[in-house]
Each structure stands twice: as structure tokens, then as C-alpha cells.
Amino acid sequence: MSTPVRPSAAYGWRIGSLAGTPVYLGRSWPVIAVLIVVVFGPNLARADRGASYGYLLAAGYAVLLLVSVLVHEAAHALAARWRGHPVSRIVADVWGGHTVYDSTRSSPTTTAVVAVVGPLSNLVLAAVVWGLRSLTTNETALTLLGIVAVANLLVGLFNLLPGLPLDGGQIVSALVWRATGSKGRGLVAAGWLGRVVAVLTVVWFAVRPLAEGRPPQLFDLVWPVAIAFFLWQGASGAVRAGHIHEATAGLATDVLEPLSLVAGTASVAQVEAAVASGAWVAAADPAGWPLGVVDADSAAAVPPESRERTTIASVTVAQPASWVIALPGDAVLTELIRVMSERELSLAVVVDEVTRDVRGLASAEHINAVVGAELSRRGRR
């Protein structure tokens, strides 16, 4: 799966890189490896090969499965880079893996291309591995290659199912996005389909034994239920993301509040009317660079007889240099939220990308209120 950017230790152990993109083995991956060895080891055992044979074969499969996951994610990463999107990392984890790339300026075509190459790489790998079986007569190699080929075939086909968070869901999302012009609607549609896939996954493995005249075994349902739970969680997250995307589809300028930019050497008396009105006032250095916002309480606490000689710089809450954000005039709210989130800003001065004119001040509190009100209006909070 691809997901359209923290310290690296949080991702697991770095095991290499691909075209400059770090590749991590998630801390949850050993759980899958152990389960594979424990579950499949006894089934692969051979009386004439010793007690450890089945477990060693299962361990080999776990390693080759990791390679398959990395091939899948590498395909996502290379496609994203080819389409001009920086790739942050590739991680192999308990649910297979994920590739993180900056999809802010993505398009339906790019989303579909990045998504489809993952399962296609598994199908190609399945064919290649199956073909390698003709080059050996070793029974162990034939067994291992056969298992890996079938696993890649099933993974490739399963990932093409039309529901998020599967890659097929990304393709559906892209198609709806292209047809409606709304990325949010694409996410919602593909998310609901993902919920359907989750339910059908459990139904299939529960009903199939009944159709064969035998009751389903509890152990046979453990994996389908676990997979369905993962799918349901991812699908629900996609539905929420779609609703939020629709709520933030307006222009970034729609949430900006008026801002007065004055020299930091100005007196409190000169700006007290603006401060008292509740408007935002920012102090600037001699070059006109916004330094911070005037604290209304501190300004009001200055004695009247001292306001003429007290500069607003002394009652200003300093902000990091990164709080000035340059955006094009047609930037959407989602872009502003992304930049503020990446820079960990609660306040931001937004300037025009071309003219550098101040457009207004963005407050995380105000943005949350606007988005929350829009979600409530849609009845999807």
C-alpha cells in the first residue's frame, strides 16, 4: 500500500536505501516472521528430514516474503519519484509495508499509477519465481519457490480489490476523483468499498467451509478476521480523511484573519486601538519581517502613562522564522494545513508567493473551528 513526511528510530531498523530513499524494517515485522515459522513450520515438516526441516523452510519463506514486500514498496517509491514526488521512506511492517511520499500536489493519474505498480510487481515476481522452478530439481527449492510464487500471486490479486486501504482502492479513489473533480469524494467512495471488502473477507472464509459441508474452524478464521480488522480500520480512516478533505477544499484565504503589521519600534499607544478591537497585530523588524504577535493582555497591562514610550516589541510574543508561509493566491486550505503541520505552527503569517504581500494571519485554533463547523454542517463530525 502507498500512503500519500519523524526521528528515523520510530520507523524501525534502517536496512538500506533505494535511490536515496531510506528503507526500514519495522519493529513489528519480526512478529510476522515468528508467526510464519510457528504456523507453517509443523505443516512443512518431513519425517525424513529431521524435526527442524519444516521450521527452517518456513524461516526461508519469511525472508523471501520480506523481499516480496520490499519489491512491492520499491515499485510504489520509484513510480512516485518518476511522477515528481519526493519519497520520504519505505517501511516493511506487520501489515506488509507502506511507502510514504509527498502527495500534496498529486493528481488522479499519479495516484493511480503509484498504486497499480505495487500489485503488478507482485504478479510479475510470481511469474518470475514460478519460472525459476524449471531451473532446479531440488525438492526443497521447488517447495519454497512454489510457496513464494503463490503468495505473490495472491498478494497481487488481493491488493487489486477495489477498496481502501488496498492499492485497488487507491485506483478507485483516483477514478472517482477524476470523474467528480473532488479528491475527498474519491476517498469516501473507496473507503466505503474498503469496508465492503472487509466484511466479504470474513464472510468468504466463514461461508466457504459451510458450502463444503464442514463447519469453519476457529483457527481458519483468525487470519481473515485480523485482515478484515485492518481493512476496516484503514477504510474508516479513508472515509474520515475524505470528509475532512471536502471540508478543507476551499481556498486558504477563506480562513485568514486580518493582520496589522507595524514596526516593532512603534509605541503601545499607537496600536492600542487595533489591539483593543481584538484584531491581530504583528511587530516587524526594520526590514519588514514579521517577528511575532502583540500579546493583548500584556499591552493592556502597560500603565497609561508609559504607553507612549513603551514599544510593542516589548509586548510581542516572538515566533519562529518559519511562521511566514508563502502561498500562491489559489492555494487550498489543505495546503496551508499541511505546511503548518509540518512546521509545527499554531500561528502563521501568510504572504503571496509572488508579490510577498501579507494576506493575513492563520491560526490553528480558528482553522479547527472553521473545519469543525463545516463537518458539523455536513453531519459528519
HEC assignment per residue over 323-371: HEEEECCCCEHHHHHHHHHHCCCCEEEEEECCCCCEEEEEEHHHHHHHH
Q: Which of 143, 160, 177 is the last residue of a domain?
A: 160
208 & 339 share domain? no
72 & 207 share domain? no
- How many domains, in total, are found in the chain? 3
**Reported confidence tier of residue 109, pLDDT bands at 50, 70, 90:** very high
Q: Which of 189, 222, 247 is the last residue of a domain?
A: 247
Instruction: Encode pLDDT of 57-73 as tens digits.
Output: 889 988 988 999 999 99
143 & 7 share domain? yes
189 & 241 share domain? yes
53 & 121 share domain? yes
Spell out the residues 6+ positions from residue 48 whose beta carbon is closer than 8 angstroms to its own. none
Q: Supply the pLDDT for residue 16.
A: 92
Q: Supply the pLDDT for residue 219.
A: 62
Q: Supply the pLDDT for residue 293.
A: 93
133 & 277 share domain? no
50 & 185 share domain? no
**Reported confidence tier of residue 75, pLDDT bands at 50, 70, 90:** very high
Instruction: Encode pLDDT of 140-149 as tens digits.
Output: 899 999 999 9
Question: Does the pLDDT of residue 226 top 90, yes or no?
Answer: no
Domain assignment of residue 198, given as a range: 168-247
Share of residues in the chain with pLDDT > 70 (%): 95
29, 93 contact by CB (below 8 A) = yes
Residue 183, CA atoms < 13 Å, CB-side half-sphere:
20
**Reported confidence tier of residue 380, pLDDT bands at 50, 70, 90:** low
Q: Supply the pLDDT for residue 6.
A: 46
Instruction: Encode pLDDT of 341-375 as tens digits.
Output: 888 999 999 999 888 889 999 999 999 998 888 88
Q: Supply the pLDDT for residue 220.
A: 66
Residue whose C-alpha is closest to residue 251's, from 349, 345, 327, 343: 327
Give the dihedral sign, CA 86/91/92/96: negative
Q: Supply the pLDDT for residue 3.
A: 47
Instruction: Encode pLDDT of 16-47 as tens digits.
Output: 999 889 999 988 888 888 888 888 888 788 77
Q: Supply the pLDDT for residue 112.
A: 96
pTM above 0.85, yes or no: no
Instruction: Encode pLDDT of 243-272 as tens digits.
Output: 888 888 888 888 999 998 899 889 988 888
* Cis peptide bond prior to 165, omega within 30° of 0: yes
136 & 224 share domain? no
Strand partners, 228: none
**Reported confidence tier of residue 4, pLDDT bands at 50, 70, 90:** very low
181 & 136 share domain? no
Residue whose C-alpha is closest to residue 112's, from 184, 181, 160, 182: 160
Least confident range from 32-46, 117-131, 145-159, 235-249: namely 32-46
CATH code of the domain covering residue 359 = 3.10.580.10
279 & 369 share domain? yes
Residue whose C-alpha is closest to residue 227's, from 198, 204, 207, 200: 198
Q: Supply the pLDDT for residue 93.
A: 82
Instruction: Give the chain's length.
Output: 381
Least confident range from 1-15, 207-221, 330-344: namely 1-15
17 & 145 share domain? yes
Report the first-to-last Cα separation within the chain, whole angstroms.
27
Question: Does the pLDDT of residue 326 top 70, yes or no?
Answer: yes
Q: Which of 140, 160, 180 is the last residue of a domain?
A: 160
Question: Does the pLDDT of residue 381 top 70, yes or no?
Answer: no
Q: Supply the pLDDT for residue 124.
A: 97
235 & 270 share domain? no
